[in-house]
Structure 1
């Protein structure tokens, strides 16, 4: 079934097989069984299993599970394209690195340890001794202690019984090889008896392979918590979905290249962070080949809308929570793009006008320095109207100077930030100030490169306020990301 075939309201689970092939199948069976017994609609389930060469060296604590990390990540990424709502990862070993995987995907992975913890809180009083059957790696990693140790004294089998348990799970005739009785079953029983001799009455199958023996062990008087069933039941609870990854700001870059770098620099500088990991996650689609927006609006170039849309869709597919386009003129296409996107594009003109209204509550006349495409599109005129501000634009002669400052042979898009381009920009700024503008918008993302970091522009003894839409867009993205 393709993702487009999923019925409205139907949940789609993705089960990562291979890290525990039989356990994955067991969790699938128990998902379906639980839904049937509860009279619920059957969930749509995808089980993805590929060859995984990593053997019992990890389980025995003799190797790092790096190959398993790559394996799980690749399958989760595949699930993202299949309309999966949540992922099940039936492996305690893999849950030792769950945070690493979850940090790289917006698709929620149902936490096996949360499922076990919630079950124990309902079923066992705090302080009840709990026996644990798990592999050496999980035990050494302290996974159970970190989640359960504060509530339950944890007991493990004796050294000999643990060695027998490992052979029962990973040996050539063990549980992972498909042998669920005889020698494997007896070795697991010996581990259970070791725990009972230690005064333990309840045992957790902290190995999804040991959980396959739940019914056989129950028939022998062992009170075993079937972690596979607990996991399946928990996954079917609608409120069991964990938070996804930290918010990503998706950036449509390359429009233009220097402006993209400037935007990212401002976003980093505006972020409240004491260390690298506290900064906002960014996903950048840097495509300088997107056709020129001004040229198209003025009827002299190809339509950039498909290229802009494709860039936005790639950011959407990459898990971005919002999109920033550090190009004022590109916002002329926002009305066409947004209805086809599931995440918001943050409007640069709107956040700029909101900032002006905040900084200048007396609502002064506002002058706009921007490309002719931005002028013709009316995006700032409409934003000014929504904010209750009066907008002043240059006359034709001074607008030509603004365009030369941006597109001229010695303009900012050609890599110049001083000389002719600065003189042209200041001439247009004086013109707007003479006409009554008290605040000027640097409405092309390259223009702040000519007057970097300035909030006030001195025009021969007269000062006017400056507002940089690139900085305001960065500020708003940081607010949304850190607020989230």
Structure 2
């Protein structure tokens, strides 16, 4: 792949402001590491830095620091950045929190250093680390270096009651963060290196990006001193890093109708094997009851819901949804119109339901359908059923009007009723399908499961018919996709 082709795929966003000097040093080395022979061949790089109170001076993972980085990454997303460069070891103590909530790749500095050490110094086992007391307490380097078999060493020449010499060299009154790149911080760092060498360190790794500004002044030493900023920059440009897992997210087009959306979410929760809150599926719900009625458009002169459905899906897409679920059967008459313009797949409730029916009842030939007149008129279920060798059976005579009354009537389920007249109407249509000889009935409107529960219905004549709830099938399929993504990430 040529440099130009590589550029077309990746653009970098550098999170500055976490120390200004160190961030600029990584940015400069990133540009130097780019294999470009002219200005035009360089990567697109955004360097974002805002002066925030205490962010540069703090030695801990403050809320302000976390939210500053997260907001910067979200801004990168809007500006077309594909890859985030985070030139701050302290911020890598919570990189998982950032990665789980971002669609962008955040290049892990510790991964780059670990790979460099294994390849460049394969025989080394004792790694000396120059880092702050906070990062040392968080055991950041142990998380990355222990598994490959490295022993992590830290300087032990610290006066009781005072901060350690490396922290003083960077954060002290005359430290590097103040702009002092002279003898005071260099002397402290040189003493820390001598301490590590005395402990048997075979390689020394700076664990604060500010140290890169004075690395050449520290040496020469009896063991190699890695230039961490340069290693990170080369790792970023090489692009040979693993994609860190982001939590799979199901986007839900809600409000079509509102009660059916709540029913769908409950079924997602019930279908998820979970021992704690964090085991459940991540959902993004755009509750938009103002989407024009789908049935009114399909059988009358109601407003076209295409743009509203598309706009809602685009909001879910912008919210990093991995798949989109629309818990409304009739709305699927419009799916083929909008899917080609989306970058996220819509899980087709009708298709997955018919596939489920075909697999569960392999000898079946006819399927009863209780649905809105709009769904029946659009023939979306009929086409899906016929594609799997099944014939659609609908209520006869005026019973379809009673189905519509059960859903849309003044005492129907959309008006909040689940007993009385609406239940009588739907039972009349149900009995008609049974009399036509069907053995399986689809509840082809997401409001109907609010009236009819259970997987079977026993009739007065002793027959038992199977009832399939597409909302439940859709919920279980979304859970399957999410769980499969977790397995794949691991």
Q: Bin the TM-score by the shorter chain.
A: over 0.9
Aligned position for 1:121:
118
Question: Is 1:22 aligned to 2:55, yes or no?
Answer: no
1:154 aligns with 2:155: no
Aligned to 2:248: 247
Cα distance between partner residues in 2 of 1:138 and 1:154: 13
Q: Work out the CA distance in 1 between the residues paired with 2:46 and 2:330.
A: 43
C-alpha contact (below 8 Å) 1:249/1:477 kept by paired residues: yes
Over 3 Å counting, the alpha-carbon distance change for 1:235 and 1:8 in structure 2 is closer
1:210 aligns with 211
The answer to whether the 8 A contact 2:124-2:202 is kept is no
3-state DSSP of counterpart to 2:54: coil
Query: Aligned pair 1:95/2:92, yes or no?
Result: yes
CA contact (8 A) 1:106 1:244 kept: no
Partner of 1:45: 45
Q: Secondary structure at the match of 2:269?
A: helix
1:418 aligns with 2:419: yes
* 1:67-216 to 2 correspondences below 5 Å: 67-125=64-122, 128-150=125-147, 151-157=149-155, 158-160=157-159, 163-216=164-217
| CA deviation map 1:374-430 (0-9, x unaligned) | 112111111112212111122351110100000011110011111111111111111
- Shift of residue 313, structure 1, vs aligned partner: 0.7
Secondary structure at the counterpart of residue 101 of structure 2: coil
C-alpha deviation, 1:57, in angstroms = 6.7
1:13 to 1:244, Cα distance in 2 relative to 1, 3 A: farther
Q: Deviations over 1:230-271 (max 9, x none)?
A: 111222233314234111000011111110010011111111
Q: Name whichever of 249-258 and 458-467 sits farther off.
A: 458-467
Cα separation, 1, equivalents of 2:145 and 2:347:
43
1:375 alignment counterpart: 376
Deviation at 1:9, TM superposition (A): 3.1
Unaligned segments of structure 1, at least 5 residues: 1-5
Q: In the alignment, which residue of structure 2 is the partner of 1:446?
A: 447
> Would the aligned equivalents of 2:197 and 2:223 in 1 still touch at CA under 8 Å?
no
CA distance 1:36–1:177, change in 2 (3 Å): farther
For 2:56 and 2:134, the matched residues in 1 are separated by 10
Match of residue 33 from structure 1: 32
Find the counterpart in structure 1 of residue 285 from structure 2.
284
When structure 1 is superposed on structure 2, of 368-377 and 141-150 the one drifting more is 141-150
Q: Which residue of 2 aligns with 1:236?
A: 237
Task: Work out the number of aligned pairs and report it.
Answer: 475
Q: Deviations over 1:304-344 (max 9, x none)?
A: 11111111111111111000000111111101110111110
Q: 1:64 Cα deviation (Å)?
A: 4.9
Distance of aligned partners of 1:242 and 1:10 in 2 relative to their CA distance in 1, 3 Å threshold: closer
Cα distance 1:325–1:148, how it changes in 2: closer, same or farther (>3 A)?
Answer: same
Counterpart CA distance in 2 for 1:438 and 1:85 is 52
Distance 1:212 1:8 in 2: 28
Instruction: Indicate the larger mover: 26-35 or 338-347.
Output: 26-35
In the aligned structure 2, how far is the partner of 1:55 from the partner of 1:302?
A: 52
After superposing on structure 2, the runs of 4+ consecutive aligned residues of structure 1 that deviate more than 6 Å are: 37-40
Aligned counterparts of 2:233 and 2:395: Cα–Cα separation in 1: 65
State whether residues 446 and 470 of structure 2, in contact with CA within 8 Å, keep that contact through their aligned partners in structure 1: yes
1:113 deviation in Å?
1.3
CA contact (8 A) 2:364 2:390 kept: yes
Shift of 1:293: 1.0
Residue in structure 1 matched with residue 488 of structure 2 by the alignment: none
Quote the Cα distance in structure 2 between the aligned partners of 1:29 and 1:222.
26
CA change 1:396–1:22 in 2 (3 A) is: farther
| Structure 1 contact 338–344 (Cα < 8 Å) conserved | yes
Is the Cα contact below 8 Å between 2:406 and 2:413 reproduced in 1? yes
Q: In the aligned structure 2, how far is the partner of 1:463 from the partner of 1:198?
A: 79
Distance 2:452 2:418 in 1: 8
Q: CA 1:379–1:445 in structure 2 vs 1: closer, same or farther (change >3 Å)?
A: same
The range that moved more, 222-231 or 356-365, is 222-231
Distance in 1 between the 2:7 and 2:210 partners?
35
CA distance in 2, matches of 1:169, 1:208: 10
User: Normalized against structure 2, the TM-score is what?
Assistant: 0.92
Aligned to 1:332: 333
Would the alpha carbon gap of residues 481 and 55 (structure 1) be closer, same or farther in structure 2, given more than 3 Å must change? closer
Structure 2 gaps of 5+ residues are 486-490
Q: Which stretch shows the higher mean deviation, 98-107 or 320-329?
A: 98-107
